[in-house]
Amino acid sequence: MMNDGQIAAVVTKVLAELGSPAKTPQSAPSVPAQNVAAGSVAETAASALSGRGSSSDGLFDSVDEAVEAAVLAQKQLIGMTLEQRKEIIASMRKAVLENNRKLAELAVSETKLGRVEDKIRENILCACKTPGVEDIQTTALSGDDGLMLLEYAPMGVIGALTPITNPTGTLINNSIGMIAAGNSVVFNPHPNARQTSAAVVQVIHKAIVDAGGPAGLVALVRVPTLDTAKELIEHPKVIMLVATGGKPVVRVVLSSGKKAIGAGAGNPPVLVDETANIRRAAQCIVDGASVNNNIFCICEKEAIIVEEVYETLIKFMQETGKAYLLTAEEADRVTKLVVKDGKINAPYIGKDVQIILRDAGIQVNDACRLAIFRAQPDHPLVWKEQMMPVLPLVCVKDFDAAVEFAVKVEGGNRHTAVMHSTNVEHMTRFARAIQTTIFVKNAPCYAGIGLGGEGHTSFTIAGPTGEGLTSARSFTRQRRCTLVESFRII
């Protein structure tokens, strides 16, 4: 087992490799050792789905078995010391890094969404920048009336519903945060990401047991369906629910009668004003809108640009070598392909730009990451969460019009917005108007989840229920202990 010093060294090394925003994704980090025990991931995923796995690997045939195991495991966890809990978390982080490439490849091959190199970065981010036990430090207050302690206590068993878009990142991030807070977790993952989700849970489960932790602390329903999701939501021993996905699932958990965290959809605008460093803005927008083929909920989904710098921005985006400007006629063809009956055409979600454009009869080179086009304000991709590397660019007359329009297209999701500007007054005005959970200035969207930006990461960004970028503390309840007339020692 690694000690704290060794873990710190690994984390420091990996974070150094994550790189600065303007350099990515060309400078995707070299990935730390991925081969230790990695050969077993795909095999264990296959065995998991064939039913040969058992509760000893965190996978369960029924919701009830998973929850019962999680109840027992959680009781054992809170009987252990915080030092032991830290060792469990350290072991989880290490195992994810060791199995990173296999998990990333499995995610892309199963879901057909995103890019392997970006999934690798996602996993490093979640393994290294998800806060652990340090996030639930007790606070104390002393005064004339004595002492008050505020402790962050575990909720118990958490039921977590996870999305197809991030079957590695969300499970890693949720597991670390929930267990650091003293809970156990039962996952009902997206059915079309069940193999990857099972593989992640097996890696994490083994790491927990190897570190001396209880089996069943992280559990997964082997064949997840909407029925098993309902069963999990309604299970009397599941105390808290966490849903990461679209609006419907957030609504479902919020109407459960239980404590629930809902992390829903977004449609993040990126606003560029006339004071921005336009070359930098162009690079950042191309990097942000193309990362993982735009399947992150935080990705720039439409650009709103003031007239004065509109054409310059387009020119600089093309000069990155990674953005292809569609002609008006090509943009029509692509739109007909990716929007069907007023909805996003699902088979194109998360696909490489080469595939999308090829199907529209357009050839681009391998370096291309993003298609861009001059869009009218009412274009469907401006208003819908497309989750693919096709970015509409809307021209507006000035900053005031940009703010007004960006607030409308964000749609009240309170999710993410990005801005490129050097005018502090403009920045403040836009941030106040848009009211998003994440507001990124002069960087790609992903700086807002700690990739090349300060702060911890979260793959459950809870706008609807207000927790923001969730962390261990979000999965706790506060307990206060008051001692009157004593223990003020000064």
State the residues that interact with ligand NAD by CB under 6 A. Answer: 161-166, 189-191, 226, 229, 243-246, 248-249, 252, 263-266, 297, 385, 459-461
Smallest separation, CB 458 to ligand NAD (Å): 7
Comparison of 165 and 202: residue with beta carbon closer to ligand NAD: 165
Smallest separation, CB 244 to ligand NAD (Å): 5
Comparison of 405 and 459: residue with beta carbon closer to ligand NAD: 459
- Token pair, residue 68, equals 């019962």
Comparison of 166 and 421: residue with beta carbon closer to ligand NAD: 166
Smallest separation, CB 9 to ligand NAD (Å): 30
Smallest separation, CB 267 to ligand NAD (Å): 8
Buried b (16+ CB within 10 A) or exposed e, 385-398: bbbbbbbbbbbbee
Smallest separation, CB 366 to ligand NAD (Å): 27
Smallest separation, CB 160 to ligand NAD (Å): 9
Smallest separation, CB 27 to ligand NAD (Å): 25
Q: What are phi and psi of 174, to 5 degrees?
A: -65, -45
Comparison of 320 and 465: residue with beta carbon closer to ligand NAD: 465
Q: Name the one residue in this structure whose structure tokens are 């004595």.
A: 146
Comparison of 243 and 406: residue with beta carbon closer to ligand NAD: 243
Please state, in angstroms and rounded to a whole number, the distance separating the CA atoms of residues 316 and 141. Answer: 54
Q: E-assigned strands of 189-298? A: 218-221, 240-244, 259-263, 269-272
Cβ partners under 8 Å of residue 320, min gap 6? 282, 283, 286
**Amino acid at the residue 237:** K
Please state, in angstroms and rounded to a whole number, the distance separating the CA atoms of residues 28 and 23. Answer: 8
Check: CB of residue 71 under 8 Å from CB of residue 184.
Answer: yes
Percentages helix, strand, coil for the chain (3-state, rounded to 5) are 45, 20, 35
Would you give the end-to-end CA distance of the chain in angstroms? Answer: 42
DSSP characters over 430-454 = HHHHH--SEEEESS-GGGGGTSSSS
Eight-class DSSP state of 467: -
Comparison of 168 and 320: residue with beta carbon closer to ligand NAD: 168
Beta bridge partners of 60: 221
Comparison of 341 and 485: residue with beta carbon closer to ligand NAD: 341
Smallest separation, CB 451 to ligand NAD (Å): 14
CA-based nearest residue to 177, from 167, 185, 168, 189 = 185
Comparison of 350 and 392: residue with beta carbon closer to ligand NAD: 350
Q: Output Rg (C-alpha) for the chain, integer angstroms.
A: 23
Smallest separation, CB 188 to ligand NAD (Å): 6
Select the residue whose beta carbon is closest to ligand NAD and give its number.
Answer: 245
Alpha carbon separation from 9 to 90, 111, 172 (Å, rounded): 12, 33, 20
Comparison of 193 and 209: residue with beta carbon closer to ligand NAD: 193
